[in-house]
Structure 1
Amino acid sequence: MPQSRIRRPSVLTVAAALAALAATAPAQAHTPSALPALTPRAETPPLYDDEAGGNADADDPAIWRDTAEPGRSLVVATAKEGGLRAYDLDARQVQSVPAPAGPAPGDAPGRFNNVDLVHGLKLSTGRADLAVTSDRGNDRLRFYRVDRDRPGGPLTDVTDPAAAPVFSAGQDEINDQRTAYGLATWTDRKTGRSYAVVSQRERTRIALLELLPGRSGTVGYRKLRTLDLPSSFRLPDGSSWTPCGEPGQLPQVEGMVVDPANGTLYAGQEDVGLWRLDADLTGTPALIDKVREYGVPGTYDEETEECAPGADPGFGGKRLAADVEGLTLVTEPDGDGYVLASSQGDDTFAAYDRERGDDNEYEGGFRVTAASGTLDGAQECDGAAALNAPLGAEYPHGLLVVQDGDETPQESGREATGFKFVRLDDVMDAVKD
């Protein structure tokens, strides 16, 4: 990302007509029942989204590697109003960090949606690894320094108190919750500067933020530019299609990941498909795969708060069932690797070639299913994180962590969520087969 391209804030709007020109991956089959079934090696304790469970709802994970002792690495994960959780590689909780309250009674409380990592950011107190989370409740990013051996837990809040809302002009807009939602971070290898791309809830907008050190070891940010993905699409038969949703809502983006090798952002527009674009939000985005429901008309029912689908015109993709959710990157030493996407609608994961020159071809898929004993699989997955590096004896070839949106509860009648830990070599074998 050349520095000259990011100095001047700007707003880019991508015309809906560009969607008709977007590239699509080859129509290779992705039949859920025929995909390899992988089993987890561990799962976190269930989180309950009720008062008795602390209003905690699992959403998105990130994997922090202890380079000195890889077996002591951590998984940092969001729990929405329940804040952040840190787990060891046995999936045992080692810390719970509460989300901040709203600024005044009646204001929206903190709600941590997505999390990512920044390594070796230069602060006023020295370099540090950071867990960065989107606080949807307060429309801000929050930063937590990672120190594995700190008494009281490895995560310390180092957010600059002056950090401004990402999208909102004031508290009334924040309370409407069209706020910071999806998140991906990366460091430009040429300049050493670190960035975050943040999506806006119920909108198609994505913002580029530069991360900035503040006083006394704190971290803030400044907005550089925004980009709007399309909200309506020209179909092959000449008609126009807009994904069905609640009145006033646009097809939002949540799952995102940046390939730091080439500055490529992959973004999942939940009801549309998987986009590829420059992480500095310049250039023209390309839709590399569509959800199966792409082009299907729908009618919103206010009573059920659901969309009743019409006849399928057959313009959708073959691998992804809405919503497109958690995205993560698997890198390999030779430069190859995969972009993994959660196909939430059919409880599967799709793998795409990481190389842009190959048009991110579809390479295969897999499911995460129940293991013998007490471990169940992953359903309705919201978030995922992969790390292709040794992580101790249990994960010598790396780890994939996926959110489970339908955790088997330990207490009858309570809906629960959690995270599953899967060996990455199992994933690689499944995709390559």
Structure 2
Amino acid sequence: MTTAFVAATSTASATATAAEPLPGITPRAETPVLHDDDAGGNADADDPAIWRNTADPARSLVIATAKEGGLRAYDLDARPVQSVAAPPAQGPDDAPGRFNNVDLVRGLKLSSGAADLAVTSDRGHDKLRFYRIDRDRSGGPLTDVTDPAAPRVFSADQDEVNEQRTAYGLATWQDKASGRSYALVSQRERTGVALLELLPASGGKVTYRKVRTLDLPSSFRLPNGTTWSPCAEPGELPQVEGMVVDPANGTLYAGQEDVGIWRMRADLTGKPELVDKVREYGVPGVYDEETEECEAGADPGYGGKRVTADVEGLTLVHEEDGDGYLLASSQGDNTFAAYDRERSDRNEYEGGFRVTPAGGALDGSEECDGAAALNEPLGSKYPNGLLVVQDGHDAPGDGDRPATNFKFVDLGKVMKTLDD
């Protein structure tokens, strides 16, 4: 419900922006535009991941979701390498495949040998899909290795799948202590997160089993003694989408879109902690069925100061000394917030930035849904690493057609901006 609250909070956001202008960083490249309509194949850019080719870093890949358009692979010039279609609908009245988020697993041991995998949440079928990455394979680097018998994540049957309270956000995690690989998956329109162990199946395929689930709060006690829940359509709860796991300590960061950023153990034991709140936290609202928007009331002043709903793509920047940043997309004001990666200081805010137009046809990023950072050399184009961000409004537009894509940003510029 981001749009519904923009009008109610724009004055406060504009004041904060004026008082603390954030630096702009220009992208170096962008992928071809995707259109989410019948003429463009119902493709909508959402979430990226960066696969590093250890044998030849300059030939690394960005693998990204296009929702009903499936999965895309791009080279470091942002040129398409492969397009993988989402699976078709099970029946004439069922939802088609819809790839929401993507992450990577390195060296998962399969019956056919160890493999790097792209893992994506298929919201349309409430399943995970797995794609083996072979950079030089004829026909493209991605091969579907999903076990046909892989179970649904949240739904008991197809009727529940069709309600689309299905697999949504996604982050992978490899537990150093046990060597096991997992995916953490959130549920659309619900507060739940599930921990799934990734397992080899016969014929080089991959499946999974559910280990446990955790439900984040849907209502919150405010300092004035009242109880607040984010405004939404009837029956919807504040969902999580953006997630990332810090491999150094097994910490999961999860963005509850209209609430804020949570920190918890990736094994979903222990008590979650709210690291930061969105500016709209605590703002009362009433859903108007006619306008399909929330009418916001007076802001009681209990929200945060760094991110504007929705809080979206979360990614980590690792540094050799153990420091680094947690980056979060502040979708409501087109900015990115950076927090210290260390837990000892409660992930202190370290600054922010915007991805701004580079001139000509290369625009910036607006209403960013997903982001991925890799702080490792990627050949001569990105010797200081790469940040990839989704652009929810690619410009120049094409009339009223939705236009989205991904921007490639020199991570070295981001780090210098945050370190200065």
Structure-2 separation of matches of 1:209 and 1:409: 41
TM-align CA RMSD: 1.0
Query: Is 1:396 matched up with 2:383?
Result: yes
More deviation, 411-420/292-301: 411-420
Residue pair 1:295, 1:316 contacting (<8 A) in 2 also: yes
Query: Is 1:282 matched up with 2:269?
Result: yes
| Paired residue secondary structure (2:393) | strand
More deviation, 132-141/49-58: 49-58
Residue pair 2:361, 2:395 contacting (<8 A) in 1 also: no
Aligned-residue offset at 1:409: 4.2
Which position in structure 1 is the counterpart of 2:284? 297
Match of 2:86 among 75, 87, 99: 99
Which position in structure 1 is the counterpart of 2:159? 172
Percent identity of equivalent pairs: 77
Aligned-residue offset at 1:358: 1.2
- Where structure 1 has 5 or more consecutive residues not aligned to the other structure, the ranges are 1-28
* Structure 2 residue identity aligned to 1:82: G
Query: Is 1:54 matched up with 2:35?
Result: no
Aligned-residue offset at 1:356: 0.7
Structure-1 separation of matches of 2:58 and 2:193: 36
Match of 2:258 among 260, 268, 271: 271
Query: Is 1:111 matched up with 2:98?
Result: yes
Give the number of equivalent residue pairs: 405
Which position in structure 1 is the counterpart of 2:207? 220
Residue pair 1:42, 1:90 contacting (<8 A) in 2 also: yes
Structure 1 ranges of 4+ moved more than 6 A: none
Which position in structure 2 is the counterpart of 1:31? 17
Residue pair 1:46, 1:409 contacting (<8 A) in 2 also: no
Query: Is 1:66 matched up with 2:53?
Result: yes
Query: Is 1:240 matched up with 2:227?
Result: yes
Which position in structure 2 is the counterpart of 1:122? 109
Which position in structure 2 is the counterpart of 1:419? 406
Aligned-residue offset at 1:380: 0.1
Match of 2:64 among 63, 67, 77: 77
Which position in structure 2 is the counterpart of 1:201? 188
CA deviations on 1:67-114 (whole Å, 9 max, x unpaired) are 011000000000000000000000000100000011111111000000
Question: Greater RCO between the two (CA within 8 Å, min separation 6)?
Answer: 1
Which position in structure 2 is the counterpart of 1:316? 303
CA deviations on 1:25-83 (whole Å, 9 max, x unpaired) are xxxx9637611100000000000001121100000000000001100000000000000
Match of 1:250 among 234, 237, 245: 237
Which position in structure 2 is the counterpart of 1:5? none
CA deviations on 1:352-390 (whole Å, 9 max, x unpaired) are 011111110000000001002210000000000000000
Match of 2:320 among 330, 333, 352: 333
Aligned-residue offset at 1:186: 1.3
Instruction: State the TM-score, normalized to the length of structure 2.
Output: 0.95
Query: Is 1:350 matched up with 2:337?
Result: yes
Match of 2:349 among 341, 362, 374: 362
CA deviations on 1:283-314 (whole Å, 9 max, x unpaired) are 00000100000000001011111111100000
Aligned-residue offset at 1:413: 3.5
Structure-2 separation of matches of 1:283 and 1:393: 43
Summarize the alignment of residues 177-196 of structure 1 with structure 2, pairs less than 5 Å apart: 177-196=164-183
Residue pair 2:29, 2:362 contacting (<8 A) in 1 also: yes
Structure-2 separation of matches of 1:412 and 1:292: 32
Instruction: State the TM-score, normalized to the length of structure 1.
Output: 0.92
Structure-2 separation of matches of 1:363 and 1:118: 29
Q: 1:160 to 1:429 in 2, by over 3 A?
A: same
Match of 1:375 among 362, 366, 381: 362
Structure-2 separation of matches of 1:354 and 1:388: 14
Structure-2 separation of matches of 1:155 and 1:66: 14
* Structure 2 residue identity aligned to 1:386: A
